[in-house]
Structure 1
Amino acid sequence: MQYLRSLIYVIQVYIAMAVLGLSFTPWAILSKRGALVACKLYARYAMWSARWMVGLKTEVRGPVPRGEVMVAAKHQSFFDILIIFEALPHPKFIMKKELLWTPFIGLYAKRLGCIPVDRGRKGAAIAKMVTDVAKEFDEPGQLVIYPQGTRVAPGAQTPYKVGSAVLYEGTGYPCVPVATNAGLFWPRTGILRKPGTAVVEFLDPIPPGEERRAFLARLEEAVEGHSDALLREAQEG
């Protein structure tokens, strides 16, 4: 029964993406605010419908950053993207370049000021990312990066990439680490969505000025430690 509910949920939530994407396209093209409103509405709808269709609730912990900061988040599934996006006032994501060709997501990502990265070019991609961030931050916002570079299953270990440290140095912004347990309920792959409470936790900021290795070590300790704690909490609850 839970699988059937999950299948219905997945189908309708992608239909909602298409409907909202088409409906808001004229406003989104004319105004960045139109793109932001559309994406916020979609995130809220996806979380609201998950609550009553599959029993998946959401919780945001910690002080949500409002100013110009870098947000370095644990990435376990599409659901943690939605929770973070809805929570932040004006998020701008570092995203893989291929997503620009995804229907609706590509258009709205461009309008929101998200930064595409060609992950195959490595050093050149990092340099371009820092340059593109400087251009996009003519308008205030929260820059969201996934320091492991991809979705990682709960409890799995994947190295933290240097790109987040380079961006931290290049922007001079404080960095807010973010932990989550969302992948426990909404896996990276597959249809099944499990009931429970997906938590996103904003942690104490790391001020500007840390040395690169020290920053990465501090970031990894905060994100991994709190994500593991959220995982244990959910499993024991």
Structure 2
Amino acid sequence: MFQYMRSVLFIVQMYIAMPIIGLGFAPWAMFSRKGAYAACKTYSRYVFWTARWMVGIRCEVRGTPPAGEALIAAKHQSFLDIMMIFTALPAAKFIMKKEILMTPIIGQYAKRLGCVAVDRGKRGAAIEKMVADVEAGRAEPGQLIIYSQGTRVAPGVRMPYKKGTAVLYEQLAQPCVPVATNVGVLWPKRGLLRKPGVAVVSFLPAIEPGLERDDFMTQLEASVEQTSDALMAEAGFDGLRND
């Protein structure tokens, strides 16, 4: 019960801090993309700090985040992995569902960072538009993050990897860096309880451009899933579905 109460207080203060930090950085972010990055990273680091002393979650990045242009194909389990991956990269931008762009604060900053919106309900047309939007945004170099399963996936749940990642891998002809995580064990997809432990995102060895689509997807999925399973076991996950 005590951990649950601490979790609720943590969540409340986290969402109170979002508009405060977002509005505080707004004058700089309106005129400079650097200001938008500074705001988002400041907020993320604030959340990491409060998570550590309020609910006992310590955030850890493993591996070597790329400094140059790259496609980042990541496992997605909760809001925490978004902040951890973003903060670890120098110039990150996300492929995200278009509804997020309509949300207060987050949507405005996502647009300022150059994030690419996708209508997940239109499938083939959505992929075509995603590729066109990514190509249009290449004037701003950086690391493009895509969640290859298309949504948050709770520990113990298996979902297919979508072909959009392979399309971008072919289109961009850049190294693809897989990212594994265990954050859903401690910060679940649903519910308010936050469990103490070490939340990890792990940047894995890059997959160089040039593979055939099927070979790329097989290598990507094996790398991310095997490492994520090991990280979740390290965090105490017993292999049963954990929402």
- TM-score normalised by L of structure 2: 0.96
Report the Cα offset of residue 234 of structure 1.
1.6
Which portions of structure 1, spanning 4 or more consecutive aligned residues, are displaced by more than 2 angstroms?
Answer: none
Matched residue count: 236
The code of the aligned residue for 1:165 comes to A
Q: Which residue of 1 aligns with 2:231?
A: 230
Could you tell me how far apart the structure 1 residues matched to 2:186 and 2:234 are? 13
Q: Which runs of 5+ in 1 are unaligned?
A: none
Q: Which residue of 1 aligns with 2:119?
A: 118
Q: Note the aligned Cα RMSD (angstroms).
A: 0.8
Query: Is 2:121 the counterpart of 1:107?
Result: no
Q: Which residue of 2 aligns with 1:24?
A: 25
Q: 1:125-204, aligned counterparts within 5 Å?
A: 125-204=126-205
Q: Which runs of 5+ in 2 are unaligned?
A: 238-243
Report the Cα offset of residue 154 of structure 1.
1.0
Q: Which residue of 2 aligns with 1:66?
A: 67
Could you tell me how far apart the structure 2 residues matched to 1:190 and 1:55 are? 17
Report the Cα offset of residue 189 of structure 1.
1.2
The code of the aligned residue for 2:22 comes to G
The code of the aligned residue for 1:97 comes to K
The code of the aligned residue for 1:127 comes to E
Report the Cα offset of residue 72 of structure 1.
0.3
Q: What is the DSSP-based 3-state SS (H/G/I as helix, E as strand, rest coil) of the residue aligned with 2:22? A: helix
Q: What is the DSSP-based 3-state SS (H/G/I as helix, E as strand, rest coil) of the residue aligned with 1:137? A: helix
Percent identity of equivalent pairs: 62
Q: Which residue of 1 aligns with 2:241?
A: none
Could you tell me how far apart the structure 2 residues matched to 1:48 and 1:140 are? 29
Could you tell me how far apart the structure 2 residues matched to 1:24 and 1:63 are? 29
Could you tell me how far apart the structure 2 residues matched to 1:127 and 1:111 are? 22
Report the Cα offset of residue 162 of structure 1.
0.4
The code of the aligned residue for 1:173 comes to Q
Q: Which residue of 1 aligns with 2:81?
A: 80
Q: 1:203-222, aligned counterparts within 5 Å?
A: 203-222=204-223
Query: Is 2:63 the counterpart of 1:97?
Result: no
Q: What is the DSSP-based 3-state SS (H/G/I as helix, E as strand, rest coil) of the residue aligned with 1:201? A: strand
Query: Is 2:13 the counterpart of 1:12?
Result: yes
Report the Cα offset of residue 155 of structure 1.
2.0
Could you tell me how far apart the structure 2 residues matched to 1:154 and 1:74 are? 11
Could you tell me how far apart the structure 2 residues matched to 1:41 and 1:144 are? 19
